[in-house]
Structure 1
Amino acid sequence: MEVIQWFVSLGASVMLPILLFIFALILGIKPGRAFKAGLTVGIGFVGLNLVINLLTSNLGPAAQAMVKNYDLHLSSIDVGWPAASAIAYGTVLGSMAIPVSIIVNIILLFIGITKTLDVDIWNYWHVAFTGSLVYAATSNFWLGIYTMVVHAMLIYLLADMGAKTVQKYYNLPNITFPHGSSAPGLLVAIPLNWLFDRIPGINKIHLDPETVQKRLGIFGDSTVMGTIIGIVIGLLAKYSIAKTLQLGINTAAVMMLMPRMVSLLMEGLTPISEGANEFVQKKFPGRHLYIGMDSALAVGQSSVLSSSLILVPLTLLIAVFLPGNKVLPFGDLATIPFMIALMAAVFRGIFSGRLLEVQLILL
């Protein structure tokens, strides 16, 4: 278990390229091409983390300033997923989440219950977290293991359910998202999308990024929208003119750089995805395999990014008016794109408009 914990401590940007390299060799991809593919994915994750840190370092203080300026009584702070993942993998059960989830995945693939081969090993921390919570609450070791097995099975089920939607909307052949932060969004998005499509008036709303840009011209451009949203957040935070403008430019930078980093991830994943498909067709004729990856592949899409920026002040608004809430959203404000990635795909990019509808329902 110490070896597993050490491997996990390397982080996704190191651990995932190693796993993908080994996986590519198993698929029969030449070592040089396999190494380059894994390395490119690792570089993409480094770049993506830099962009997310840029967003966090700017949005976090602005959110805190908004709470302070309006004298909002939120006594606890959300520390975000980095702390949660470290805690999850550091518990008695935590490091067992990886072998347990892999074994469950292999068994389900072998008997044909799932089509998802999950190579996103790092994000098994979600499974580790739920198992650890149950163990902490009950002191029952086997109940914690059972919880991890059920959680892993649910993630693979949701990944299968969302695979075709992900592949069609994000143009990601053979890819799906067995990601604990984004996959559960299907359970909200599918019934709401069905409902919205049947409400007169609302079913006519088509505020996808392309339509917005066409109608608004330069003001519909994602980077310009990012600048405007950043400036509005700066004004709400009562920043100085200089800091407000800096926040606007930094937000615009995130809107432009995020898709570039995602393209690097895709560049590295393409040969592996193609190799996996060829391998499956050769060994299991007639079967189709989905490669399970981090929903980071989707966060650079314009509807996801623009909707996420709109969600920042709305999330703070909900935190203020939610009865009994004492938690200030902070650490995970920059991970909102991950949480809504699958929802955006289900809503077919008509997300900013329908996002507001969802928020009104929640409020």
Structure 2
Amino acid sequence: MQIIYSIFNTILAAGAVVMLPIIITIIGLIFRVKLAKAFRSGLTIGIGFAGINLVINMMKSNLGPAAQAMVENFGIKLDILDVGWGAIAAVTWSSPIIAILIFCILATNIIMLVLKATDTLDVDIWNYHHMAIVGIMVYYVTKSIPLGIAATVVMAVITFKLSDWTAPLVEDYFGIPGVSLPTMSALSSVVIAAPLNWLLDRIPGINKLNFDVKNAKKYLGFFGEPTMMGLILGCIIGALAKYPVSGILALGVNMAAVMVLIPKMTSLFMEGLMPISEAAKKFTQSKFKGRKFLIGLDAAVVVGNPDVITTSLIVIPLTILMAAVLPGNRVLPFADLAVVTFRVALVVAITRGNLFKNIIMGLVCTGVILLAGTATAPVLTELATSVGLNLAADGSYITSFAATSLTVSFLVYKAFIGNLVISIPLLIAAIAGTWVFMSNLNKKRARILEEKKQKETAGLGAEV
């Protein structure tokens, strides 16, 4: 057992780039793909993921300092610092009960698959930390391991169900079939975005507004192309950061590069995924009467969409301004501004790239994150200190755009540290409401796709 645990820790320490090819190869073998082909697919997916990470890190290293400079330039003085998801992940993996929670998440996924309660096979083990941190914080507050485990299991169940419900969006909008995104940093926004999208669709005037990157290209010509929009928005952020002209231009070119490179890396990812996806389809048709399994992957595979990047580049400076005027907020947006892409990715898919709605809904999502971050910062700061990570300056607190700042995570956390008789029904009501909105949205999507397919079939028949 100790040897297995050591091997698991070694692979985990190597990161998702190493872990993903191994897991995909094993999945390929389970679905009866030959070893060489399965390994090639796993390695290709790993390379694609490494490429996506390189581009995202390039974006973070350029956009992060610019966003931080904007914070300083606007003179925002707040006492809770956003230290970034990476620091919070370090707190999570340093917890004494982390091994128990990881096992519980994995067991929950397997049990749900066996019981047909989910179709998502979550191979994104690194992002288990989004589910685990809630249990760790509940354990820290209540000193109860059973409650900590229960909170993490509830997070896992909600994560896998949200992954199932949003998988049609991943296939339809992002063009990645057979995949779901069990990454809570992306999924959490759905709880707000799904009902808010429904509401905006029923407000006269607003429901007629529809402007996306494709429209920008149509009406703005050369300046509406994704690369040019990346260049322009990058330069605007550089100017707001008060960079010199050389720095402004460099940021603009780097954002344009992100627009070009991410789709190319995603295509590599798809190339490796196709053999596994086809084998999984054949296997499930023969062994499980056609049941469809979804491979659960990091939301990084969709954040390079031009609409997602464009929305993020607009929402980031607006979030900084909002932090200064939002009543009750004490969070200073900082390190996680560069990963706003993850928070808005599924918002963009829900609106089908409607930039107007993306901005409104994206700001509501980040605003709620700021308030939840404010509410949970004292406990998170104490927790970090307790595991030896003293990240806060004297008299201040820490938070991030992850952990219990995420809407779903905050609801589960509050449910387990409060009055369970009151909080659990409220949590169930929130998730049930999300299911209703997502179910209606997916039915609408299926109807539109069917009508489109029928028109295409009728057109082909007319040509014959």
Which whole-Å CA distance do the structure 2 matches of 1:344 and 1:360 have between them?
12
- 1:247 and 2:244 correspond: no
Which whole-Å CA distance do the structure 2 matches of 1:197 and 1:30 have between them?
49
> What SS is found at the alignment partner of 2:295?
strand
Map of 1:266 onto structure 2: 270
Is the 1:116–1:160 Cα contact (8 Å) retained in structure 2? yes
Q: How does 1:272-351 map to 2 (within 5 A)?
A: 272-350=276-354
Deviation at 1:48, TM superposition (A): 1.5
Map of 1:356 onto structure 2: 359
Is the 2:319–2:363 Cα contact (8 Å) retained in structure 1? no
Which whole-Å CA distance do the structure 1 matches of 2:316 and 2:99 have between them?
33
Which whole-Å CA distance do the structure 1 matches of 2:357 and 2:49 have between them?
30
Q: Per the alignment, do residues 273 and 98 of structure 1 end up closer, same or farther by CA in structure 2, a change over 3 Å counting?
A: farther
Map of 2:204 onto structure 1: 200
> What SS is found at the alignment partner of 2:273?
helix
Query: Among residues 43, 50, 57, which one is paired with 1:53 in the alignment?
Result: 57
Is the 1:93–1:131 Cα contact (8 Å) retained in structure 2? no
- 1:168 and 2:172 correspond: yes
> What SS is found at the alignment partner of 2:187?
coil
Is the 2:347–2:361 Cα contact (8 Å) retained in structure 1? no
Is the 1:78–1:329 Cα contact (8 Å) retained in structure 2? yes
Deviation at 1:321, TM superposition (A): 1.7
Which whole-Å CA distance do the structure 1 matches of 2:66 and 2:78 have between them?
15
The worse-fitting range, judged by mean Cα deviation, of 157-166 and 61-70 is 61-70
Map of 1:28 onto structure 2: 32
Which whole-Å CA distance do the structure 1 matches of 2:7 and 2:363 have between them?
47
Map of 1:37 onto structure 2: 41
Q: Per the alignment, do residues 79 and 171 of structure 1 end up closer, same or farther by CA in structure 2, a change over 3 Å counting?
A: same
Larger gyration radius, structure 1 or structure 2: 2
Which whole-Å CA distance do the structure 2 matches of 1:259 and 1:322 have between them?
35
Q: CA RMSD in A?
A: 1.7
Which whole-Å CA distance do the structure 1 matches of 2:362 and 2:24 have between them?
38
Which whole-Å CA distance do the structure 1 matches of 2:283 and 2:334 have between them?
43
> What SS is found at the alignment partner of 2:121?
strand
Which whole-Å CA distance do the structure 1 matches of 2:275 and 2:318 have between them?
40
Which whole-Å CA distance do the structure 2 matches of 1:298 and 1:26 have between them?
26
Which whole-Å CA distance do the structure 2 matches of 1:232 and 1:43 have between them?
32
Map of 2:117 onto structure 1: 113
Scaled by the length of structure 1, the TM-score of the pair is: 0.95
Deviation at 1:240, TM superposition (A): 1.0
- 1:213 and 2:180 correspond: no
Deviation string 1:264-315 (CA, Å, 9 cap, x unpaired) is: 2222112112221221111110422222111112112111111111111012
> What SS is found at the alignment partner of 2:185?
coil
> What SS is found at the alignment partner of 2:173?
helix
Is the 1:118–1:178 Cα contact (8 Å) retained in structure 2? yes
Map of 2:227 onto structure 1: 223
Is the 1:262–1:296 Cα contact (8 Å) retained in structure 2? no
Map of 2:77 onto structure 1: 73
Q: Per the alignment, do residues 2 and 87 of structure 1 end up closer, same or farther by CA in structure 2, a change over 3 Å counting?
A: farther
The worse-fitting range, judged by mean Cα deviation, of 52-61 and 12-21 is 52-61
Map of 1:141 onto structure 2: 145
Which whole-Å CA distance do the structure 2 matches of 1:78 and 1:95 have between them?
27
**Structure 1 counterpart of 2:267, which letter?**
S
Is the 1:48–1:258 Cα contact (8 Å) retained in structure 2? yes
The worse-fitting range, judged by mean Cα deviation, of 65-74 and 47-56 is 65-74
Deviation at 1:75, TM superposition (A): 4.1
Which whole-Å CA distance do the structure 1 matches of 2:73 and 2:305 have between them?
33
Which whole-Å CA distance do the structure 1 matches of 2:183 and 2:363 have between them?
26
Which whole-Å CA distance do the structure 2 matches of 1:315 and 1:101 have between them?
33
**Structure 1 counterpart of 2:159, which letter?**
I
Q: Per the alignment, do residues 359 and 299 of structure 1 end up closer, same or farther by CA in structure 2, a change over 3 Å counting?
A: closer
> What SS is found at the alignment partner of 1:182?
helix
Deviation at 1:3, TM superposition (A): 4.3
Spell out structure 1 runs of 4+ moving beyond 4 A: 359-363
- 1:178 and 2:182 correspond: yes
Map of 1:155 onto structure 2: 159
Is the 1:94–1:131 Cα contact (8 Å) retained in structure 2? no
Scaled by the length of structure 2, the TM-score of the pair is: 0.75
Deviation at 1:328, TM superposition (A): 2.6
Deviation at 1:18, TM superposition (A): 0.8
Is the 1:5–1:95 Cα contact (8 Å) retained in structure 2? no
Identity of aligned residues (%): 48
**Structure 1 counterpart of 2:359, which letter?**
L
**Structure 1 counterpart of 2:39, which letter?**
F
Deviation at 1:221, TM superposition (A): 0.7
Deviation at 1:2, TM superposition (A): 4.7
Deviation at 1:191, TM superposition (A): 0.9
Is the 2:193–2:361 Cα contact (8 Å) retained in structure 1? no
Which whole-Å CA distance do the structure 1 matches of 2:298 and 2:153 have between them?
20
Is the 1:5–1:89 Cα contact (8 Å) retained in structure 2? no
Which whole-Å CA distance do the structure 2 matches of 1:65 and 1:267 have between them?
39
Structure 2 runs not aligned, ≥5 long: 368-464
Which whole-Å CA distance do the structure 2 matches of 1:279 and 1:85 have between them?
36
